[in-house]
Amino acid sequence: MRRRKLLFFSLILATLAIGVVIGTVVNRSVNADKPGVSPGPTAIAIPSPTQLSSEFSKVAKMVEPAVVNINTETIIKAQTRERRQSPFGSPQEDPFDFFERFFGGPMDGPGRDMKTKALGSGFLVDKAGYIITNFHVVEKADTINVSLASGDDYKAKVIGRDDKTDIAVLKIEAKKDLPTAKLGNSDAMTQGDWVLAIGSPFGLEQTITAGIISATGRGGKQYQRFLQTDAAINQGNSGGPLVNMAGEVIGVNTAILAPSGANAGIGFALPSNTATNIYNQLVKTGKVTRGAIGILMQGGTNKTLRALGAGDGKGVIVTQVTPDGPAARAGLKQGDVVREVNGRKVNDTSELSTVVAELTPGTTVPLKYLRDGKEQTVTLKVDDRAKLIPDETGEAAEPSEEERGGTKLGIAVQSLTERQAREFELQPDEGVIVTNVQVGSMADEAGLQARDVILQINKMPVRSPEELRQIVSKLKSESEVLFLIKRFDRQTGRVGTLYLAATLP
């Protein structure tokens, strides 16, 4: 019996031992499949759609009370109408006059005035009732009606307008403090930032659309540098605010690129910094004064800029300096490459023009430029553009039938006639006129055109076809060639100075 009991207990213990071993092996196998946890960076939290929608809603509630709907009315005066002449000759009666008399239409005497209406948007920036909108929203309007988000309606008057930036300032008399929108710093916006557009597209008041900043610094007309957005903008959104996620206005919705006439995901807003500058001037003086430094300029290709010493291909080329202007007094010369004005980098003519225009006449600012590849800094006193830059006019130079002076550049040139010299404001022995450009030639690659006047090649003056041939004969294959030319622009009616460059085959 005792043996049987020992055998029984032994079997139980053996069974338990085997179970423990099997359990340990299985547990280790399972744990081996689990990755080890080691210290590392904190996991990135992805906002849920509900949280994002909540942010949009918060921003909308902050700004909506300050956004207004603008309705304008314009009276088109009708001119006195005369009896139409019959298309069949004077003895016969015009059938259109017959129908007008039969149905009571006017036949002679004054016609009826017509009333046209237009819609737009705007936003309050001062509790006293000052509103920023687009100039084209109120242009030629006889009556301007403003509706607030609260439902209150007011008549508005124009305080000032600036067609060059498409900004206008309105004023309503509410006899109470009004909600206002806060303006932000548009320079802080970068591609990809979330924005909301608020306004009255097609008359649908307080409509909000969301999108991102698609691009910055899009060039428009002179003095316009737009923020591009894919937030839906349509007719009626003009003048409304483009808002960042802090609830700040960073742009004034101004234009769309829409072949179909409706939103195509490409809208443009004037940056708030430009709008602020224009607003401050309009409410203070009723007009806009722009700065100028006294240069004519051009943007250049990378090759042209490198030829002038800008190794990175960035900057704006000075093509002419106004005598006794701010730039001339500071020592700038033709061929310098402007890189920075008042701490703001400039990469094209539109950007430089906008930056300088926003400077207050009479202020002194630093300017950085390159000359022969060396960076220099000067300070200059900004002048009033209206006083510094006179209107320039000109007519196209007539081409001469005589062509001579063909060169390996791929052009034919001749000396200037007295008439051509006068038209280009030159002396007869100053420059040669291009009479023909060979397609595919080095000159064609550089952008030279017939009727251009070549003043310099590689900064050496060209006074005659013979002098041009002598200069070109010394150029080696694959060398960079820099031209300084004068060209008549038919669109502006002006004679401008340009730099062009290409590589000699």
Closest CA to 291 of 349, 250, 352, 333: 352
Domain ranges of the chain: 182-285, 291-388, 411-503
153 carries an active-site annotation: no
Alpha helices, DSSP H only, in 237-291?
A: 272-285
Q: What one-letter code names the amino acid at 282? A: L
If one compares 310 and 23, the residue with the highest pLDDT of the two is 310
For the domain made up of 411-503, give the CATH fold: Pdz3 Domain (2.30.42)
Per-residue pLDDT tens over the stretch 232-262: 998 888 999 999 999 999 999 998 886 666 6
pLDDT given at position 247: 93
* Span of 8-17, 177-186, 363-372 with lowest mean pLDDT: 8-17
pLDDT given at position 402: 34
Q: What's the CA gap between 213 and 110, in Å, rounded?
A: 52
Domains 182-285 and 291-388 share a fold: no
**Cβ atoms of 143 and 153 closer than 8 Å:** no
* pLDDT tops 50 at residue 304: yes
Q: Within 10 Å of residue 155's Cβ, how many Cβ atoms?
A: 10
Per-residue pLDDT tens over the stretch 127-138: 999 999 999 999
Q: What's the CA gap between 464 and 416, in Å, rounded?
A: 8
Phi, psi of 207 (to 5 degrees): -90, 135
DSSP string, 353-374: HHHHHTSPTT-EEEEEEEETTE
305 CB contacts (<8 Å, ≥6 apart)?
313, 314, 315, 317, 337
pLDDT given at position 47: 64
Q: What's the CA gap between 109 and 123, in Å, rounded?
A: 44
pLDDT given at position 179: 95
pLDDT given at position 16: 65
* pLDDT tops 60 at residue 397: no
Per-residue pLDDT tens over the stretch 449-491: 989 999 999 999 999 898 998 899 888 888 899 999 999 887 6
354 CB contacts (<8 Å, ≥6 apart)?
223, 224, 225, 274
pLDDT given at position 348: 84
b/e 288-315 (16+ beta carbons within 10 angstroms → b): bebbbbbbbbbbbeebbbbbbbbeeebb
Reading the block at residue 267, the tokens are 């809208």
Query: What percent of the chain shows pLDDT beyond 70?
Result: 78
CA quadruple 197, 202, 205, 207: dihedral sign: negative
312 carries an active-site annotation: no
pLDDT given at position 422: 86
Q: What's the CA gap between 253 and 229, in Å, rounded?
A: 10
Q: Residue 351 — very low, low, confident or very high, per pLDDT cuts 50/70/90?
A: confident
Closest CA to 311 of 320, 319, 302: 302
Q: Which listed residue (166, 336, 383, 452) is catalytic? A: 166
Q: What is the DSSP letter of 36?
A: P
pLDDT given at position 434: 92
pLDDT given at position 209: 93
Q: What one-letter code names the amino acid at 125? A: V
DSSP string, 73-109: EEEEPPPEE-PPPPTT-TTSPPHHHHHHHHTT---SE
pLDDT given at position 252: 96
Q: What is the rounded average pLDDT of the residues 394-406?
A: 36
Per-residue pLDDT tens over the stretch 99-121: 333 334 444 444 556 778 889 99
**Which residue has tokens 């403003």?**
146
Beta strand ranges found along 173-292 (DSSP E): 182-183, 194-199, 207-219, 225-229, 241-243, 248-256, 267-271, 291-292
351 CB contacts (<8 Å, ≥6 apart)?
217, 219, 225, 316
318's enclosing H/E stretch is strand 316-321
pLDDT given at position 206: 86
**How far does the chain reach from its first CA to its final CA, in angstroms?**
115
Closest CA to 308 of 287, 334, 346, 329: 334
Per-residue pLDDT tens over the stretch 283-296: 998 889 999 999 98
Q: Hey, which of 69-83, 85-99, 388-402, 416-430 has the most confident mean pLDDT?
A: 416-430
Q: Which listed residue (94, 97, 126, 136) is catalytic? A: 136
pLDDT given at position 407: 62
Q: What's the CA gap between 483 and 364, in Å, rounded?
A: 33
Q: Which listed residue (238, 272, 353, 415) is catalytic? A: 238
Per-residue pLDDT tens over the stretch 262-282: 677 889 999 999 999 999 999
**Cβ atoms of 340 and 371 closer than 8 Å:** no
pLDDT given at position 91: 45
238 carries an active-site annotation: yes
Q: Which CATH architecture has domain 291-388?
A: Roll (2.30)
* Span of 94-108, 206-220, 370-384 with lowest mean pLDDT: 94-108
CA quadruple 246, 248, 251, 254: dihedral sign: positive
Beta strand 411-415 with 432-437 is: antiparallel
**Cβ atoms of 249 and 183 closer than 8 Å:** yes
For the domain made up of 182-285, give the CATH fold: Thrombin, subunit H (2.40.10)
Q: Give 147's Cβ-side CA count (13 Å radius).
A: 15
Query: Could you give the 3-state DSSP secondary structure of residue 21?
Result: helix
- The mean predicted confidence, pLDDT, of the chain is 82
* Span of 388-397, 430-439, 451-460 with lowest mean pLDDT: 388-397
